[in-house]
Structure 1
Amino acid sequence: MSIEELNKEIIACRKCSRLVEYRNTRSVPEKYAIETYWNKPLTGYGDINGKLLVVGLAPAFNGGNRAGRIFTGDKSSDFLISSMYEAGFTNIPVSENINDGLKYNNMYITLALKCAPPDNIPLKCELENCNPYIEKEIDAMHKLKAILCLGKISFDSIIKYFRSRNIKTTGIKFINEKYYDIAGIRLYCSYHPSPRNVNTGLLKKEDFIALLKEIKNFIN
């Protein structure tokens, strides 16, 4: 299956009735009232032939779910994309809308859950429904050297991938800024760039940029 075929399958997915109902019935803020929301599952974005895979949690309802592109148009994307620009992974420092010209360099970015969940909290069964998609995305990255997990939920989805391939992950756990070498792939951990983590100082921009630069040096 090509990445184009996979993305069509993702966009057409309606496995999780709770998520479908949520995005089709939730009211939108007044400032976005004139916009037409994407309101479908979000595919990954970037260079599928790149050496780095970045995995986030799920789309924000008024971010990616609105704009139709992963990590676009919200506070998390502001932090993430400006940091990636500083590290040389993007061509511009912003991700505002699908027509802004954003490109990722040598990396692909995706989500553990392809649809926006209520309160940003996915159910276990919803993550399980999405597992086959992220597994196919990983398998499509033939030059993959590193994976960066943004938060524990995305980390757990990647660990499930390795275990499904009978690759041992004993003793491996999510620790911010730590990495593990697993079956020829270096797995990096970072807190998710959510406003809560950023505003409380749990995730500092200078530390995150330093981690991205470390990853860039490794894959090059």
Structure 2
Amino acid sequence: MDPHPVTGELFDSPVPPGAGWPGDPATRHTAIARSAREVAELAAGAATLDHLAAGISVCRACPRLVAWREDVARTERRKSFAAQPYWGRPVPSFGDPEAPLLIVGLAPAANGANRTGRVFTGDPSGDFLFAALHRTGFANQPTSEAAGDGLGLTGARIIASVRCAPPANAPTPQERLTCRPWLARELELSARHLRAILALGAAGWQATLTALGELGWEVPRPLPKFAHGARVQVTSPAGDEVTLVGCYHVSPHNTYTGRLTPQMLDDVLASLGP
């Protein structure tokens, strides 16, 4: 391990920044957040989405999440992926930097985005989501196998409310709170283009409304409950109106049981238009 040029600390990760992973936004000189305070400071100081993505991708502020994502990447890999390298770092957003639609999910999957390095890529949830995005004109191809596979989004950008794969897919309240400044800053940097936000699941819904409220947006009070197809209007400090739409999460629990069907997701996406 080499010392970090800025902090002098050692960066122990399956894929160190600057190692040449496709789409890696960070370099060996990217500052690393190692506490909630540093997350807030670095997020607030990110001037662009690229700058923000770099900081997110090397964050080490939540010890439990750091240990889990790296253990999975090194020793707990799924057998079918045993021969593949794993990203093993926080996962930044992906898609159109001037997108009018922002899609907010919960967190990367341990053997999905934690492996591929691209949000909702390489697992059944991503297969379901990107196929729908392709059918509705947001994606140039229906599959998402690995970073650098040619996938592109037009008019949409995808983010997670928590950027590291959590054990049992369940980040703690403190981990959600620590990660929230990354989400809040992404919303700020995206605000002038936004027309709609699609929240996948109750966690994405709650995280989005909470972050917007903290940023000074006008949001309904009390906060509206999540439901599939729920729509509420939120207003930015600049006076721009954005529609927040709820959708059942694209998890296998929902898609394999028919709670969320391809047609249901297509209908929601089509109503938001590419």
Q: Which runs of 5+ in 1 are unaligned?
A: none
Q: Aligned equivalents of 2:153 and 2:217: distance in 1?
A: 31
Counterpart of 1:5 in structure 2 is 51
Matches within 5 A, 1:95-106: 95-106=144-155
Aligned partner of 2:261 among 191, 204, 213: 204
Distance 2:177 2:128 in 1: 28
Write the mapping of 1:1-220 to structure 2, written as runs, cut at 5 A. Answer: 1-26=47-72, 27-141=76-190, 142-164=192-214, 165=216, 167-171=218-222, 172-183=224-235, 184-216=241-273
> Whose RCO is larger (CA < 8 A, sep 6+)?
1
Asked if structure 2 preserves the Cα contact closer than 8 Å seen for 1:163 and 1:169, the reply is: no
Q: Where does residue 18 of structure 2 map in the other structure?
A: none
Task: Provide Cα deviations, 1:180-207, integer angstroms capped at 9, x if missing partner.
Answer: 1111010000010000101111111111
Count of matched residue pairs: 217
Is contact 2:209-2:219 (8 Å) kept? no
Change (3 A) 1:162 1:99: closer
3-state SS of 1:102 partner: coil
- For normalisation by structure 1, the TM-score amounts to 0.95
SS of the equivalent of 1:175 reads coil
Distance 2:181 2:81 in 1: 33
Question: Which runs of no fewer than 5 residues in structure 2 stay unpaired?
Answer: 1-46, 236-240
C-alpha displacement of 1:145: 0.7
Amino acid at match of 2:48: S
How far the C-alpha of 1:166 sits from its partner, in A, is 5.4
- Please give the alpha-carbon distance, in whole angstroms, between the structure 1 residues aligned to 2:176 and 2:130: 25
Secondary structure of the structure 2 residue equivalent to 1:155: helix
TM-score by length of 2: 0.77
Contact 1:83 1:208 in 2 (8 A): yes
Partner residue in 1 for 2:28: none
Structure whose alpha-carbon radius of gyration is higher: 2
C-alpha separation in 2, matches of 1:118 and 1:134: 20
Which residue type is aligned with residue 10 of structure 1? I
2:233 aligns to what SS in structure 1? strand
The answer to whether the 8 A contact 1:48-1:140 is kept is no
RMSD (Å), alpha carbons: 1.1
Identity of aligned residues (%): 35
